[in-house]
């Protein structure tokens, strides 16, 4: 199996490393009911809190999931002992964390820095790392599901797929594509009605009435290119843009969602939004919005998605993986993704007509 594409700038402190990750249940069985989807989200959030990776967008379906994940570089000076213990508490018992705290305290008291770093290294290698994040989520969920249902063996049909995604238009489009999954599948008429997705959680608040994490992720997905971080307080602003983007894709009233969980308001229909011409719509062409109604293979198999310059930079960073005959990396989107051609590009030249 070919080696996974990892962003050449993965250790950059300024250029985000964002990945769209997808995995399916073996034989594509419909294995996830409400309880299973809730459990998957729990493990996803637990590992997010431990690893330092951040979920920008996600959707858990009946037999597969999508996660748009940002993997920040580890800080140059690492993380403090206090931060390490806080992260460990996200995935371990109090007793386990107390044991690690005692080991660290004894090492520091004895001025044995080498011993302290050895203790820390047992855990920090799993942080700020795409492969470790995904492996842990998949393994922990599989163990839980097998134990809960009295089954054994593998759950996932193959190793997960990942696509490098550029911050800005590509990340925003990918987030909307992910949140529209249950609409494409005919499960709901409005993405806000689906509980196990970033948009549904952001609007509805999730099981515990707190959608802050989901709002933070979508704010970052939509505005990260403008150096906006995980700022939940900007959700009211971002939700209008994001809601309109999905509304255009649905081909009906675009509406908007305000910051209050569970409240959705309509304001512009598709025609009105397109006629305004003032830049208030996130997707400027109806054709690009219609693209989001389809299963776009480029978004799961394209290896790298973004502007022409972005894809070519990724190509240059992985030049040894291609033949000498290939001069550049960017390939124009075709088939059901052609509406985005010229705006978004792919590293892989997939067959036209295949979605």
Of the pLDDT bands very low, low, confident and very high (cuts 50, 70, 90), residue 250 is: low
Q: Note the pLDDT tens digit of each residue in 145-160.
A: 999 999 998 999 888 9
Going along the chain from its start, the domains and CATH numbers come out as 18-73+155-240+292-346 (3.30.70.1290), 81-124 (no CATH)
Task: Please count the residues of the chain.
Answer: 355
DSSP 308: H
What pLDDT score was predicted for residue 86? 97
Of the pLDDT bands very low, low, confident and very high (cuts 50, 70, 90), residue 44 is: very high
Phi/psi for 163 (5° steps) reads: -130, 130
What pLDDT score was predicted for residue 68? 98
294 and 340 Cβ atoms separated by less than 8 Å: no
Averaged confidence pLDDT in the chain: 85
Above 80 in pLDDT, residue 33?
yes
> In angstroms, rounded to a whole number, what is the distance separating the alpha carbons of residues 128 and 125?
8
Q: Note the pLDDT tens digit of each residue in 306-328.
A: 999 999 999 998 888 888 888 88
Q: Note the pLDDT tens digit of each residue in 273-311.
A: 333 434 334 344 466 777 888 889 999 999 999 999 999
Above 50 in pLDDT, residue 272?
no
CA 5, 303, 348, 14 torsion: positive or negative? negative
What pLDDT score was predicted for residue 215? 93
Q: Note the pLDDT tens digit of each residue in 97-117.
A: 999 999 999 999 999 999 999
What pLDDT score was predicted for residue 276? 40
User: Model's pTM, two decimal places?
Assistant: 0.87
Query: For residue 58, what are the contacts with CB-CB under 8 A and spacing of at least 6?
Result: 41, 44, 65, 66, 67, 68, 178, 197, 198, 217
What pLDDT score was predicted for residue 206? 52
Beta bridge partners of 205: none
What is the percent of the chain where pLDDT is above 70?
85
């Amino acid at each position: 199996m070919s080696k996974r594409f990892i962003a050449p700038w993965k250790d950059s402190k300024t250029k985000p490393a964002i990945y769209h990750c997808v995995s399916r249940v073996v034989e594509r069985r419909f294995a996830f009911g409400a309880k299973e989807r809730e459990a998957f989200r729990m493990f996803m959030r637990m590992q997010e809190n431990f690893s330092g990776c951040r979920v920008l967008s996600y959707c858990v379906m009946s037999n597969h999931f999508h996660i748009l994940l940002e993997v920040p570089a580890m800080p140059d000076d690492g993380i403090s002992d206090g931060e390490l213990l806080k992260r460990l508490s996200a995935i371990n018992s109090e007793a386990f964390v107390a044991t690690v705290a005692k080991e660290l305290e004894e090492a520091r008291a004895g001025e044995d820095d080498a011993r302290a770093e050895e203790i820390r290294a047992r855990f920090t290698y799993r942080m700020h790392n795409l492969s470790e994040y995904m492996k842990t989520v998949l393994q922990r969920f599989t163990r839980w599901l097998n134990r809960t249902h009295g089954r054994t063996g593998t759950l996932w049909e193959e190793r997960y797929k990942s696509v490098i995604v550029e911050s800005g238009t590509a990340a925003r489009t990918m987030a909307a594509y992910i949140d529209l999954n249950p609409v494409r599948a005919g499960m709901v008429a409005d993405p806000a009605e689906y509980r196990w997705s970033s948009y549904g959680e952001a609007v509805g608040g999730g099981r515990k009435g707190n959608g802050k994490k989901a709002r933070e992720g979508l704010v970052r997905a939509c505005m990260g290119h403008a150096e906006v971080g995980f700022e939940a307080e900007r959700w009211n602003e971002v939700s209008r843009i994001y809601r309109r983007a999905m509304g255009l894709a649905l081909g009906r009233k675009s509406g908007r969602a305000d910051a209050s969980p569970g409240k959705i308001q309509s304001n512009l229909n598709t025609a009105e939004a397109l006629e305004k011409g003032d830049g208030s719509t996130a997707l400027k062409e109806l054709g690009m919005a219609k693209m989001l109604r389809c299963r776009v293979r480029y978004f799961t198999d394209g290896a790298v998605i973004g502007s022409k310059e972005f894809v070519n930079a990724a190509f240059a960073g992985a030049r040894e993986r291609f033949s000498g005959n290939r001069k550049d990396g960017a390939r124009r989107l075709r088939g059901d993704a052609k509406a985005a051609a010229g705006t978004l590009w792919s590293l892989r030249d997939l067959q036209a007509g295949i979605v």
